[in-house]
Chain A
Amino acid sequence: MAATQLVLERLGIEIIATEQSCCGQMHINSGYPKLAKPLVDQVEKNFANCDYIVAPSASCIGSLREHEDRPALVAKCFDLSEFLVDILKVTDLGAEFKHRVTFHTTCHSLRVAKLGNKPQQLLNAVKGIEVVELPAADSCCGFGGTFSVKNSDVSGAMLEDKLSNISSTHSEFVVSADNSCLMHIGGGLQRKGGKIEVLHLAEVLASRG
């Protein structure tokens, strides 16, 4: 959040300090749509006065966009990468990050929010960065919200494969556009005790040498 705020403020965007609220995705995807409804209502209400709702999470944005019955809300939801590349038309944010990183393309950024290669465009414009391609980058890390608990063993097996692909890149950081995947991957990396850390794309974009 702080990094996203910093990136946007540097570009002269006025951030309305509105009350935050959850997009309701966890409840929707877990099969509790009625519990999600008040949360989505709240998003709509809290952000009524804003021109854009920008979130550093393709997954949350993708979920919000599925509310076809709320066209006004859908029209102003943007993932950070989309907002920067499509609306503000910038890719070089003057960021500097002198590290070797690999990028995990999250399922929802690719197939739900359909960000294409926008996050990579932003990442490649960062000064000093070395981006190493992650093998099977578009395959799911196994998080899946409550899936990680309800089907813990399958989730663990998927994570194991993701972690070995990550370590094969010999990167210092795994960067991604979704915190939920990063929590899962980060937890796995921490368990393994290696030196690789997770980092949100916004944190890289906010870095200055």
Chain B
Amino acid sequence: MAKGYSGVSLPFPTLAKEALKDTQLRTNLARATTTIRDKRARVVGEVTDWEELRQAGHDIKMASLSNLSAHLTKFESEFTAAGGTVHWARNSKEACEIVARIAKENNIQEVIKVKSLTTDEINLNEYLATQGIVAKETDLAELIVQLADEHPSHILVPAIHKNRDQIRDLFVDKLAEAPAGLTNSPRELAMTARAHLRKKFLTSRMAVSGANFAIAESGTLCVVESEGNGRMCLTLPEILVSVVGVEKILPTWEDLGVFLQLLPRSSTGERMNPYTSFWTGKGDGPKSRHVILLDNGRVQTLADEQGREALACIRCSACMNVCPVYERTGGHSYSSVYPGPIGAIITPQLLGEGEAKTLPFASTLCGACYEVCPVKINIPRILVYLRGKENSANASLTEKIVMRLAALSLTSKGLKVLGTAIRTFSPVISSRPAQKIAHYLPVAKKWSAFRDIPKTRLTRKVRKP
């Protein structure tokens, strides 16, 4: 996102500390993530070959990534042969400029948008605004976030940090269509947004979307959604521009079958999503169709053998819904369009060395994310790998010394000394004066803020042997 996605942001622990103070946020998040988590578990539990499906999803994605350039070339030739136009963008700037150029060439001042993380990643709305072009979000939650002048805090449920009362107040304040006496009922809120958006769908001449999948063999793009706003945007305007990360390629339609089973169950907890749209070059709907194939750090990520698995992500959000860290801090603490466990491994890699460096450490490595990932991305493994990369480049001298000393004290010889030391000094270290002093010592105070130094368990006698 604009805030922070450029890499200029506060460290995760600082932002998380602030977020933790917001008790309303914590309540909203806990309620929402628990609901989605339970829904997902229920529908995943129905699929007897879920583990095989996950493995298939993983294998297809990894095989596709290993031959990416061939699949992209195939996609380009098919999409072009069907009458569409393919553009290539190395970074955010190039992609944004292409969208703005298409709008200007067609004399367009307002575009409607399908919910798209990739366009958020490149800060498209903000760039278009500088060019005098208004970008209007049409997904309900994206609209809420846009009206509040905020950023999404979750990739699937962008307004997860808000509750119904907060949304009602926002609509009353910002939407002319809000009726007198609007309540917080979901239906009333949705109907208000619908009245507002319907006019936009019928009058806008250009839409911008992303894509969930790009099928190489036929040059087809696919968007999976729940509300139907996407279908409106993809069919009603004259011009359609889709910004698609190069990793979204799947070789064949048969491959797609696997993901259409994995994605809805993992994301919204539904057996099937309400709307799945496909388009190829020209046909019914928009007369002019463009696709911008975006790199923006993906190629450098692909070059990293240890980290490339992160590109298999299908943006389902199951990992953030089960993450105990995300559940407490919310998405904004990650300063990235991609928060949660997957964000902690994607953001630093897309941005490159020296950026988003606190994110790989924002995890207890509890493994809940890996367990639910529909494409079996071993997120804990990549987190640990990225920690190592970050430490080699930027760890403080103090930390390096401490870790080296710790390594020495944990050898066989070291352990003998350490064991004796702990047994001897334990009563002192865990005494009340020592507990108080710990509040003032660096590192120790981080521990002592929430917990005592426990009486060491090495000295405890076995109970009634």
Query: Considering the chains assembled together, what is the distance between the CA atoms of A177 and B17 in angstroms?
Result: 30
Interface check B464, CB cutoff 8 A: yes
Interface check B12, CB cutoff 8 A: yes
A187 — nearest CB in chain B belongs to which residue?
B451
CB under 8 Å from chain A, chain B span 370-392: 370-371, 384, 386-391
Binding site for B on A (CB under 8 A): 1-3, 6, 19-22, 24, 26-33, 35-36, 38-39, 42, 46, 97, 107-108, 110-112, 139-140, 142-160, 179, 182-184, 186-188, 190-191, 198-200, 203-204, 206-209
B26 — nearest CB in chain A belongs to which residue?
A157
Return chain A residues, CB-CB under 8 Å to B462: 2-3, 6, 203, 206-207
A-contacting 9-mer, from B91-99, B106-114, B323-331: B323-331
Binding site for A on B (CB under 8 A): 12-13, 16-17, 20, 26, 324-325, 328-329, 360-368, 370-371, 384, 386-391, 395, 403-404, 406-407, 410-412, 415, 443, 446-447, 449-455, 457-458, 460, 462-465
19 A–B contacts, CB within 8 A, in A order: A21-B410, A21-B415, A24-B410, A27-B403, A42-B412, A111-B366, A140-B366, A151-B12, A151-B16, A152-B13, A152-B450, A154-B328, A154-B329, A156-B451, A182-B457, A190-B452, A198-B454, A207-B462, A208-B465
Contact indicator A140/B368 (Cβ below 8 Å): yes
Given contacts A6-B465, A27-B406, A158-B324, contact A200 B411 (CB under 8 A): no
Given contacts A20-B415, A111-B366, A153-B13, contact A30 B457 (CB under 8 A): no
A139 — nearest CB in chain B belongs to which residue?
B324
Return chain A residues, CB-CB under 8 Å to B361: 146-147, 150-151
Query: Considering the chains assembled together, what is the distance between the CA atoms of A160 and B451 in angstroms?
Result: 10
Return chain A residues, CB-CB under 8 Å to B13: 150-154
Q: Which 10 A-B pairs have the closest CB atoms?
A: A144-B364, A31-B387, A187-B451, A156-B450, A22-B410, A111-B367, A107-B366, A140-B366, A152-B446, A19-B412
Given contacts A111-B368, A144-B363, contact A38 B384 (CB under 8 A): no
Contact indicator A140/B449 (Cβ below 8 Å): no
Contact indicator B447/A149 (Cβ below 8 Å): yes
Contact indicator A158/B365 (Cβ below 8 Å): no
Contact indicator B384/A31 (Cβ below 8 Å): yes
Query: Considering the chains assembled together, what is the distance between the CA atoms of A95 and B361 in angstroms?
Result: 41
**15 more A-B contacts (CB under 8 A) besides A111-B368, A157-B328, A183-B454?**
A3-B462, A29-B365, A46-B412, A111-B370, A140-B366, A140-B368, A150-B361, A154-B13, A154-B329, A155-B450, A160-B450, A182-B457, A190-B455, A191-B452, A207-B463
Return chain A residues, CB-CB under 8 Å to B458: 1
Which of B16, B366, B449, B465 lies at the interface centre, i.e. has the most chain A CB atoms within 10 A of its CB?
Answer: B366
Instruction: State which of B20, B370, B407, B452 has its C-beta within 8 Å of the C-beta of A187.
Output: B452
Contact indicator B407/A190 (Cβ below 8 Å): no
Which of B324, B364, B388, B458 lies at the interface centre, i.e. has the most chain A CB atoms within 10 A of its CB?
Answer: B364
**Min CB gap B179→A, angstroms:** 40
A162 — nearest CB in chain B belongs to which residue?
B324
Contact indicator B388/A39 (Cβ below 8 Å): no
Contact indicator A42/B411 (Cβ below 8 Å): yes
Contact indicator A206/B463 (Cβ below 8 Å): yes
Query: Considering the chains assembled together, what is the distance between the CA atoms of A183 and B454 in angstroms?
Result: 6
**Min CB gap A5→B, angstroms:** 9
Return chain B residues, CB-CB under 8 Å to A207: 462-465
Query: Considering the chains assembled together, what is the distance between the CA atoms of A159 and B371 in angstroms?
Result: 22
Return chain B residues, CB-CB under 8 Å to A46: 412
Return chain A residues, CB-CB under 8 Å to B453: 187
Return chain A residues, CB-CB under 8 Å to B388: 31-33
Query: Considering the chains assembled together, what is the distance between the CA atoms of A2 and B144 in angstroms?
Result: 59
A35 — nearest CB in chain B belongs to which residue?
B407
Which of B368, B404, B465 lies at the interface centre, i.e. has the most chain A CB atoms within 10 A of its CB?
Answer: B465
Contact indicator A203/B463 (Cβ below 8 Å): yes
**Min CB gap A41→B, angstroms:** 10
Contact indicator B447/A142 (Cβ below 8 Å): no
Instruction: State which of B20, B384, B407, B412 has its C-beta within 8 Å of the C-beta of A153.
Output: B20
Contact indicator B324/A38 (Cβ below 8 Å): no
Instruction: State which of A6, A38, A152, A155 has its C-beta within 8 Å of the C-beta of B411.
Output: A38
Instruction: State which of B363, B391, B407, B464 has its C-beta within 8 Å of the C-beta of A39.
Output: B407
Contact indicator B451/A184 (Cβ below 8 Å): yes
Query: Considering the chains assembled together, what is the distance between the CA atoms of A144 and B446 in angstroms?
Result: 14
Return chain A residues, CB-CB under 8 Å to B364: 107, 140, 142-145, 147, 155, 158
Contact indicator A149/B443 (Cβ below 8 Å): yes
A202 — nearest CB in chain B belongs to which residue?
B462
Query: Considering the chains assembled together, what is the distance between the CA atoms of A35 and B408 in angstroms?
Result: 9
Contact indicator A153/B367 (Cβ below 8 Å): no
Instruction: State which of A26, A149, A151, A186 has its C-beta within 8 Å of the C-beta of B406.
Output: A26
Contact indicator A39/B410 (Cβ below 8 Å): yes
Instruction: State which of A31, A111, A151, A186 has its C-beta within 8 Å of the C-beta of B454.
Output: A186
Contact indicator A208/B464 (Cβ below 8 Å): yes
Contact indicator B387/A179 (Cβ below 8 Å): no
A26 — nearest CB in chain B belongs to which residue?
B406
Which of B361, B371, B462 lies at the interface centre, i.e. has the most chain A CB atoms within 10 A of its CB?
Answer: B462
